[in-house]
Amino acid sequence: MKFESMRRDATPRSSAAEPAGDKPKPPGPAAALHLAQPQAPDVAEPAWDPLEDHARGILEEIGEDPERDGLLRTPARVAKALRFLTSGYNADVREILNGALFDAEGYEEPILVKDIEFYSLCEHHMLPFFGKASVAYLPGKRIVGLSKIPRLVDLFARRLQVQERMTKQIAAALEEFLEPRGVAVSLTGTHLCMAMRGVEKQASQTTTTAFAGDYQRDPNRRKEFLAQLRENKG
């Protein structure tokens, strides 16, 4: 009976002779969902970066084969990594700080954010140096959102750098845009240009400091800052 019914339904009929009860039903919700499935959007090919040609040239110059399986995507990966590691050139201090400045409401004591991890590239060998930054300021009329201080460190770290200049740049940016009574910055870093090559001293670290305002004028303020850095360290 079922087979005969299926055959009858499959037989073409004119609309005039078709009984009302045998009219085809509209598709149910499941069929509608199936019919409405969106097609996968076209995925754009990643844009070619001129740095890829330079990375490929380096591979060839050191005697490698850029066409071998493990290196086929290496030029593109190197280009992407370098764009990220130097993204600080395209960042704007104003965009980071101006939207997060608030009334200090009479608060006058030091504000310290310490042990901020940073990763940068030495401008002499383009090898990494990395470590921790500590930033303190004495508020004037305004304070800044705490998350903006690590962002400021990243902005200057993601450039070709020397640690001495990076330390001064962080302090100068805070002094200019926040107008505090004082700024203190300390960076301690490990430089792979000293660890992997050259003198090959893997355990050495470099510490740099920059002071402005009351931190520069008042030795007691500097001592207070340095003592805070030593707190909770074994």
DSSP 8-state secondary structure symbol assigned to residue 20 = G
Q: What is the pLDDT of residues 106-149, one digit of tens each?
A: 999 999 999 999 999 999 999 999 999 999 999 999 999 999 99
* pLDDT tens digits, 192-232: 999 999 999 999 999 999 999 999 999 999 999 999 999 87
Identify the H or E element spanning 25. Answer: none
Structure confidence at residue 230 (pLDDT): 93
Asked whether 178 and 137 are in contact (CB, 8 A), the reply is: yes
Residue-level pLDDT at 1: 41
pLDDT at 9 (0 to 100): 46
Q: What is the longest distance spanned by two Cα atoms in the chain? A: 105
Q: Which pLDDT band holds residue 39 (cuts at 50, 70, 90)? A: low
Catalytic residues: 122-125, 163, 191, 193
Q: Where are the domains of the chain?
A: 54-84, 91-230
Q: How confident is the model at residue 184 (pLDDT cuts 50, 70, 90)?
A: very high
**Residue 176 pLDDT more than 90?**
yes
Nearest to 143 by CA among 107, 92, 182, 184: 107
Confidence of residue 234 (pLDDT cuts 50, 70, 90): low
Q: Domain 91-230 - what CATH class?
A: alpha beta
pLDDT of 190 > 70? The answer is yes
Q: Packing angle between helix 148-157 and helix 163-178, nearest 10 degrees?
A: 140
Looking at per-residue pLDDT, the higher value among 177 and 11 belongs to 177
Question: Which residue in 60, 85, 81, 76 sits closest to 156, CA to CA?
Answer: 85
Least confident of 4-13, 67-76, 115-124: 4-13
7 or 46, greater pLDDT: 46
Q: What is the pLDDT of residue 7?
A: 42
Q: Is the pLDDT of residue 27 over 80?
A: no
Average pLDDT score over residue span 72-88: 98
Average pLDDT over the chain, rounded to an integer = 87
Average pLDDT estimate for 13-17: 45
